[in-house]
Amino acid sequence: MSMIIDRRLNDRNKNATNRQRFIKRYKEQLRRSVADIVADRSITDMSRGGEVGIPVKDISEPRFRIGRGGDREMVHPGNKEFNTGDMIAKPKSGGGGGSGSGGEGQGEDGQDNFMFTLSKEEFMNLFFDDLELPRLARTVLGDSQQFTYRRAGYTPSGVPANLSVPRSVKNAMARRIALTAPLKRELEELKTSGADVAEIDALEKRIARIPFLDEYDLRFRHRVKEPKPISRAVMFCLMDVSASMSEKKKDLAKRFYTLLYLFLSRKYEKVELVFIRHTSNAEEVDEHAFFHDPQTGGTVVMSALDLMIEIQRERYSPNEWNIYAAQVSDGDAFGSDPQRSAMRLSKDILPWCKYFAYVEVPDSPSTITPLAAAYSQIRNETFAMSTVMDRSDVYPVLRELFHKESA
């Protein structure tokens, strides 16, 4: 007799570990793929999985195999016109006829890349690895929704730690009263009527048997998960796009913006992005133009700050919006521009801005640029600045922000 077993409810993800091992082993190759994706994906679109590829030759498992060459015979089906002794031109290598017997001809032909899809978590992890993001920040970003716990009365089941003693005792008391009242009344009647002692005894015992505390008296404090209050934020991305900003610097900038965006999109239900690029004058553009259109010209930082203020006044009232801003520049500024910009920033922007991060991507880390010199005068805890030479430098700029928010 056969046994038929329903295993459908068993664990479905038996291979999760093996998959993890695979991804871990080919992290380097995957990182390259992820970097490509980051480059051509929009900031708002970053937090989903993606298709990545690994060169097939990297992941092949070597075995001793007999290769092409030498002499051999093969038997094939489907002969139509050949007769013994016929000669046939050798097929170009890779043809179906060359691979000997019964074997599966797969693997050799077709794709050069082993393509597969990373889940959202796997993708984000590789992305964060690149930025050397610490664990804590990851959990802040990784949670797709944050909740707060709110009290919601009492519940008859729960963990001992949540037991509400007063509530439970109160219930027990009520139950005891309710259950014993009719018995006591009866007892009273028996006593007054002078009934049999045994009967009175039995009744008294019965009353004593009613438990002091019973399971259904227990009440536990109940807490419900509630999504955090929804709100909206706007994020201003300011970038110097003068000729000295190379592709690599823009790539760093993009990662910086992405990180801030991810952070904000976890925290706020709706995040709008405003892209302001500037050379000697500023303009608002869409994301593609922001990152990819080459521009030439001088550098006037002030113009971008002015435009930001203008846009904020028009569209984003601080009462309704949480305003964040991130500025990236190589630090070159001339004449009185840096000083005036720093003044404008601390006087006219920081008062209504929740956080303003400035990232500098200079050509060499040692020089102090005019803009950095001016900005470093600003004393305000909503303002952060840092020099970024490498991807791993990006996160520390936002460390304060993350720290504050995840605490």
Partner 1 sequence: MTTVKRKKTILSHGGDWDFELLQRYDKEISAIAKEYGLDTYPNQIEVIASEQMLDAYASVGLPISYSHWSYGKEFIQNEEAYRRGMRGLAYELVINSDPCIAYLMEDNSLPMQALVIAHACYGHNSFFKGNYLFKQWTSADAIVDYMVFARKYIFDCEQRYGEQRVEETIDACHALMDHGVDRFHRPSPLSAEDELQRQHEREEHAWTQYDDIWRTLPQKTVDKAGAKKKKRTFPPEPQENLLYFVEKYSPTLEPWQREIVRIVRKLAQYFYPQGLTKVMNEGWATFWHYTLLNTMYDRGLVDDGFMFEILQSHTNVVMQPGFDHPGYSGINPYALGFAMMRDIRRICEEPDDEDRAWFPDIVDKDWREVLDFAMRNYKDESFIAQYLSPKLIREFHLFAIADKHKEDHLTVEAIHNEAGYREVRRLLSKQYNRDVLIPDIQILRYEHMGDRSLVLRYNQLRERPLTDDAKEVLKHLSRLWGFTVTMEVFEEGRGVVDKVEVSPA
Q: Which of 10, 145, 192, 193 binds partner 1 (CB under 8 A)?
A: 10
8 binds partner 1 (CB under 8 A): yes
Q: How far is CA 121 from CA 31, 46, 124, 391, in A?
A: 14, 12, 5, 20
Print the binding letters for residues 78-107 with partner 1: x by CB under 8 A, - otherwise.
Answer: xxx-xxxxxxxxx-----xxxxxxxxxxx-
At a CB cut-off of 8 Å and minimum separation 6, what does 215 contact?
none
Q: Which of 31, 39, 49, 114 binds partner 1 (CB under 8 A)?
A: 114
Q: Which is nearer to partner 1, 87 or 407 (CB)?
A: 87
Tokens of 4: 């038929």
Q: Which of 28, 40, 73, 314 binds partner 1 (CB under 8 A)?
A: 73
CB 197 within 8 A of CB 121: no
229 binds partner 1 (CB under 8 A): no
Site for partner 1 in 354-393 (CB under 8 A): none
CB 298 within 8 A of CB 258: no
14 binds partner 1 (CB under 8 A): yes
Q: Which is nearer to partner 1, 3 or 159 (CB)?
A: 3
Q: Which is nearer to partner 1, 115 or 210 (CB)?
A: 115
Q: How far is CA 279 from CA 32, 131, 154, in A?
A: 31, 28, 62
Mode of pairing for the β-strands spanning 232-240 and 147-155: unpaired
Nearest distance, CB of residue 108 and partner 1, angstroms? 10
Q: What angle do CA 387, 390, 393 make, to 5 degrees?
A: 55
**Long-range CB contact pairs, 71-74, < 8 A, 24+:** 72/100, 74/100, 74/101
Q: Which of 32, 48, 55, 59 binds partner 1 (CB under 8 A)?
A: 59
* Total residues interacting with partner 1, rule: CB under 8 A: 68
Q: Which of 36, 115, 351, 367 binds partner 1 (CB under 8 A)?
A: 115
Q: What is the dihedral of CA 63, 69, 70, 76, to 10 degrees?
A: 90
Q: Which residues bind partner 1 (CB under 8 A)?
A: 1-8, 10, 12-15, 17-25, 59-80, 82-90, 96-106, 114-117
